[in-house]
Amino acid sequence: MNVDKAILASVLAALSLAACTQENDRNGSEGQKASTPTTPEHRLAPLSENDMRNASLQGELGCSFTTNSESVLLIAMGVVASSDPAKGLIKLDNELHPVSAPGGFDGMLRGATFEGDGNAVQVSITGEPQGSGESPPYPAELMVVGSDQPTINGLWTCGP
């Protein structure tokens, strides 16, 4: 009988441990959200002056997303009143990726979604222009679509 009780106690302990492990897996370790293996971990990196200089983007006017620490994460050029897409550049996972958005320059004035190489970034205007003049910057957010990277706050500036 004592052997049966010992086996039963071992089985109950193993089941209890398995239940705790499954609960931790569902909740993530130490209360953090567990990431799924299918969630990409793409990270935007600042464009260097050399990256921007060598981008060879065509268009009359351009836009850029600059972080609050003044790092440029997206540049784009487009033609005014054109149906040709605006062309842009991002650095994702330390690799340069061309991106485009529909509607030329006019299509990116109030934010846009830029796509290319299976990647997408979205610029969303979040407030009124800061300052005045021909090309005041707008507070904006930049997000890598489908990534676990947090939304980045900064400025969206368009013009000459």
pLDDT for residue 58: 93
pLDDT at position 12 over 60:
no
Domain residues for 101?
Answer: 44-159
Its pTM stands at 0.74
Tell me what pLDDT residue 46 has: 98
Residue 13 inside a domain? The answer is yes
Q: Reply yes or no on whether the pLDDT at 47 is more than 80.
A: yes
- Grouping H, G, I as helix, E, B as strand and the rest as coil, residue 66 is strand
Residue 45's beta-bridge partner residues? 91
pLDDT at 39: 54
Q: Are 64 and 55 in contact (CB under 8 A)?
A: no
- What is the chain's length? 160
Q: Could you give the 3-state DSSP secondary structure of residue 42?
A: coil
Give the pLDDT score at 158: 97
CA 49 – CA 58 distance, rounded (Å): 17
Shared-domain flag, residues 48 and 126: yes
Whether residue 85 is found in the same domain as residue 146: yes
Average of per-residue pLDDT values in the chain: 82
Tokens linked to 45: 């990196």
In this structure, the answer to whether residues 20 and 62 fall within a common structural domain is no
Each residue's pLDDT tens digit, 57-110: 999 999 999 999 999 999 999 999 999 999 999 999 999 999 999 999 999 999
Name the residue with higher pLDDT: 54 or 7: 54
119 falls within a domain: yes
Q: What is the mean pLDDT of residues 32-46?
A: 64
Q: Which CATH number do you get for residue 117?
A: 2.40.370
Judge whether 143 and 129 are in contact, CB under 8 Å: no
The number of distinct structural domains making up the chain is 2
| Rounded Cα gap, residues 109 and 7, in angstroms | 71
Q: Is pLDDT larger for residue 31 or for residue 151?
A: 151
pLDDT of 15 above 80: no
